[in-house]
Structure 1
């Protein structure tokens, strides 16, 4: 997701959004017994990422160096007794800590867990803002994660407006885990009531993100109209947003063809060809067979790369050959040979650079000998660079000058 102006700015907006969040405090909570946080607030069964075998690395990390980031906990009043503490954010950290508290009870890192505690209950919007703040602080999100986060927050804004207007939201709507499905259900509840609308401009302002409404709509559009497994697949292969948007258009018109094209570029190990393949499929005279479409895209990419290589070759500065009258010291001839100086001798290459280049070339040569092959673009680039190096070596290594006696 586009980075906010700063983490501090986002936290300020977060504090301005809710008096409860402004009252947050930091505590070390026990992992077992009275005062330990529960997880019922999340309202769903643990996923595959929270079972012990998937938490092994996290458990090992905590055991070695402790927690790097606190969990977020809501403090819910419970009559005359002590408040309940329920988890709002950080399920994997909490479950890893609980496992360690049971199985590694002598490790001091599993005695308590750092937590940001807020008076609750938090609204869904407050919880979603915290989730996005944490994700943004941790690492850049994929387009699929960005879209899901934006949609969840838009749902939270819409829920808040519906409740403020006295329009209850059924429990089954809250239970919808897919953000697109949840938003569509909330929109049906809203009907034509413009007072309860959640426009992107308002959603982005509440989040404090420097993102245009158009970018948000494009992200969500690509997310909504593709199956979730396909979104995750494209995230894994780093398919750009504009390519996804075009793929969505092709999938609407030619669903089966689009899916077969994606399968074909993946099977060839060339997801980078997807944009060119979509262009081929959209052309009036485009090939109907997905395999032929990908073949045409690959040929077009190769021709483009060759044209780029030729252009680079043509624009490379020419290196003049040394004159025949170069000094013996500069040309490699006998001392005193020749009578015309060609100017100062060229600077010697850094020996470390030459040694490193030779090591890399030897490894490359060894890989090629055992059958490894680069991609077509890489192969063309290697050929072009090798030709340039050979030309430069030929033009900068002059023939030895003839001895004076032989010239006479």
Structure 2
């Protein structure tokens, strides 16, 4: 399903032109939503967005929103219509007003596509965003990246007048499909699909070098092994080591993986691969024995270090600060009990602050 949806990007002229941009949260160029018929207002209560606001404040918007750029036809700035990401937009607008010093609320990361889009194009785009928000495993992510690169390359080939036979569209394996398209491209540099362009169109925070490593490990590894490593949550770095050993000692790599898989000791895989790479005479069993020895030594050293580490001194909060905060909260509580009311925005802000304070206090107590 992922491959079919991603491949359809290359068939839409508008979707092929999508780009990554940082959009303003206010004024000209800021996005609006159909649902509200207006910009999400400052009076929107943040209580139901507390977790999202906290996350964005700490690490930023991890997944860009989707925005449709619509020409107004009067020469003015295009209208920026939100296609997906209502909660992220609201959280960022709240943060821009109430936490203006936080750089994560300075602008809204977005993937912008020229509109107007058809209902089908919008549905495909939103579906791909949902797929991108899933926690894809390395093998799945590599396949999706190659398929999207195929879509970019296909669009350029067709625009450049290159005929793409139907049998190329029918190739299931993404690596083989891309190789077939590259043969059609030949030496035509104008039709190249560089990784930087592919990643920018997807709005992924992934470097071209990392993408190349991921796809290389995927391309050189048997599909069944890639799927097994996905299930075992084997890291990309370890997969690259496996591929490197497999180039010179294919059977040794296969035997090590089979032994690790059989015993369920996947944590030994990186060290076993390193041992086998360093000593070409080691058998799979010997490599695993060496990995076990190294792991036991590392565990013992780590335990000794933890026992020897002095307890860190944690500074206490100034008692005067605590007293002033408690006094203010008591006054607020008394005013509310006596019938005073908080404004909608103040109510949301207080609720958000108390939730965050409670989380910090509970974490401190648990530690």
TM-score bracket, shorter-length normalisation: 0.5 to 0.7
Residue 291 of structure 2 is matched in structure 1 by 297
Matched, 1:205 2:226: no
Residue 340 of structure 1 is matched in structure 2 by none
Whether the 8 Å contact between 2:67 and 2:113 is mirrored in structure 1 is no
Q: Structure 1 residues 225 and 4 mapped into 2: Cα distance closer, same or farther (>3 Å)?
A: farther
Matched, 1:243 2:238: yes
Residue 307 of structure 1 is matched in structure 2 by 301
Q: Structure 1 residues 219 and 130 mapped into 2: Cα distance closer, same or farther (>3 Å)?
A: farther
Matched, 1:258 2:258: no
2:113 pairs with one of 14, 17, 31:
17
Q: Note the C-alpha offset of 1:150.
A: 0.7
Q: Structure 1 residues 155 and 226 mapped into 2: Cα distance closer, same or farther (>3 Å)?
A: same
1:365-388 deviation per Cα after TM superposition (whole angstroms, max 9, x unaligned)? xxxxxxxxxxxxxxxxxxxxxxxx
SS state at 1:17 partner: strand
Matched, 1:135 2:131: yes
Q: Which runs of 5+ in 1 are unaligned?
A: 26-72, 75-115, 118-126, 318-408
Aligned length: 214
Runs of 4+ in 1 over 6 A off after TM superposition: none
So what's the TM-score if we normalise by structure 2?
0.54
1:176 pairs with one of 151, 171, 177:
171
CA distance in 1, matches of 2:305, 2:197: 48
Q: Note the C-alpha offset of 1:288.
A: 2.2
Where in structure 2 are the equivalents of 1:83-102 lying within 5 Å?
none
CA distance in 2, matches of 1:146, 1:260: 26
Q: Note the C-alpha offset of 1:205.
A: 1.2
So what's the TM-score if we normalise by structure 1?
0.49
Q: Note the C-alpha offset of 1:162.
A: 0.4
SS state at 2:65 partner: helix
Q: Which runs of 5+ in 2 are unaligned?
A: 1-58, 70-82, 84-110, 312-367
CA distance in 2, matches of 1:132, 1:191: 30
Q: Note the C-alpha offset of 1:134.
A: 2.1
Where in structure 2 are the equivalents of 1:7-406 lying within 5 Å?
7=63, 9-12=65-68, 16-19=112-115, 22-25=116-119, 73=120, 131-137=127-133, 139-283=134-278, 285=279, 287-316=281-310
Q: Structure 1 residues 204 and 8 mapped into 2: Cα distance closer, same or farther (>3 Å)?
A: closer
Residue 82 of structure 1 is matched in structure 2 by none
Whether the 8 Å contact between 1:222 and 1:248 is mirrored in structure 2 is yes
Q: Note the C-alpha offset of 1:24.
A: 3.7
Q: Note the C-alpha offset of 1:200.
A: 0.4
SS state at 2:241 partner: helix
Whether the 8 Å contact between 2:246 and 2:252 is mirrored in structure 1 is yes
1:262-288 deviation per Cα after TM superposition (whole angstroms, max 9, x unaligned)? 0111111101111000110011x4542
Whether the 8 Å contact between 2:195 and 2:208 is mirrored in structure 1 is yes
CA distance in 1, matches of 2:286, 2:157: 51
Whether the 8 Å contact between 2:68 and 2:114 is mirrored in structure 1 is no
Q: Structure 1 residues 262 and 12 mapped into 2: Cα distance closer, same or farther (>3 Å)?
A: farther
Greater radius of gyration (CA):
1
1:193-245 deviation per Cα after TM superposition (whole angstroms, max 9, x unaligned)? 10110000111111122211111111111111111111110010000111111
